[in-house]
Structure 1
């Protein structure tokens, strides 16, 4: 449900600006949300309905005044419009407050979407952000104050009243413009003390004692005892005589 608002300063009194806005027939002269409005002899007030056409539509719709506070607040609501993608219900809100050199006007547009049209809410909001600054400048030209000053760019806001109330119970509300909120004090974060790092003592390295090498003793060689003669020697065997040579055998 897009809600777009814009603030403008107009160099006219509150009475002049409100009288011009309360006549729904003047909407077609400057407002892009209204194409045509049929003539009506009914005076402005809560519950009064007008026949109008929304831009791009060929059927007549009803535009009803749902809030009316003379010199302060005014709200118009259109009928629900259906198409192949869903439905939309437009609401136009005007809030006025006096200023030393003119009037501060807040114009708010709200579109209630249904069906697949809810997917196109960003596109609808973008179109109103583009058109609202042009509309308030044309309003200033119609009121004879061409040098009106747009104070704030279009932004998303909340309507001051619930504009989708039943038509049988019109609502009267107080002005919606509230004094600006005081700036919030900025709190500086207190600096945190940095942790103090104690120097760690370096480990003391004790010198390792060098190993003591003792001289190796050379092996001592004992003299081998000489063999003693045997007192009872065994007799040696006699030598075997060599075999006699055989004489050759005579042939037969």
Structure 2
């Protein structure tokens, strides 16, 4: 699965940044992975689901908060979306840490792909590497910190690997056995003349 991450410094406190991110309704204001979020009276927190639309989709999906550590970590998971090529499940992760003059925020997007969509993983990764820096700057503008600084360029953390049916290398095929060949028939010994005794029957005779 492709997983892309970018680090950005925002000159706002951790609590300000976290509270803004935790409200899923704010995602449509700055994040390219969310097209719209329906109004909801539910407070932010683990397990809370919001109705949203993924860009390019005309059907409502659910966006659920699956990790919630106030001031530190936040993860949203979108519904699995199907198309003729397969399925994808998006995850949006935000990790925050305080700095002397603001907050260090790591934005991470992970897409779990299935079916033939796995072949398009490099294209998906390339699109997120392009969009994440723009998203980070829009977030800074929404928070009143337009001069936020992207510290690290988007990077691919993990590359998709097609699943294998077995994690161990296939055992080497046993060598082909040579076809059994009947032993070469040995010629029957010719009958020994009666006047010639066998070796074990010979006895040493004393000299005359």
Tell me the distance in 2 between the aligned counterparts of 1:120 and 1:26: 29
Unaligned runs of 5+ in 1: 159-252
- Deviating above 6 A after TM superposition, structure 1's stretches of 4 or more consecutive aligned residues are none
Structure 2 CA distance for aligned equivalents of residues 31 and 135 of structure 1: 5
Aligned to 1:203: none
Q: CA deviation at 1:156?
A: 1.5
Give 1:157 shift. 2.1
Distance in 1 (alpha carbons) for counterparts of 2:109 and 2:46: 19
Q: Which has the larger radius of gyration?
A: 1
Deviations 1:120-176 (A, max 9, x none): 000000000000000000000000000000000001226xxxxxxxxxxxxxxxxxx
Number of the residue aligned with 1:36 = 36
* Mapped partners of 1:16, 1:40: distance in 2: 21
In structure 2, list runs of 5 or more residues that go unmatched.
159-208
Once residues 69 and 114 of structure 2 are traced to their aligned partners in structure 1, the CA distance between those partners, rounded to angstroms, is 30
Aligned length: 158
Partner of 1:178: none
Distance across 2 between alignment mates of 1:157 and 1:34: 22
Between the aligned partners of 1:71 and 1:20, the Cα distance in structure 2 is 11
Q: Secondary structure at the match of 1:108?
A: strand
Structure of greater relative contact order (alpha carbons < 8 Å, 6+ residues apart): 2
Structure with the higher fraction of residues in helix conformation: 2
Partner SS, residue 157 of structure 1: strand
TM-score between the two structures when normalised by the length of structure 2: 0.75
What TM-score results when the alignment is normalised by the length of structure 1? 0.62
> What's the offset of the Cα at 1:114?
0.4
RMSD across aligned C-alpha pairs, in angstroms?
A: 0.6
Provide the residue aligned with 1:182 in structure 2: none
Are 1:69 and 2:69 matched, yes or no? yes
Q: Once the two structures are superposed, what CA deviation does each residue of 1:85-121 show, in whole Å capped at 9, x if it has no partner?
A: 0000000000000000000000000000000000000
Query: How far apart, in 1, do the equivalents of 2:14 and 2:3 lie?
Result: 24
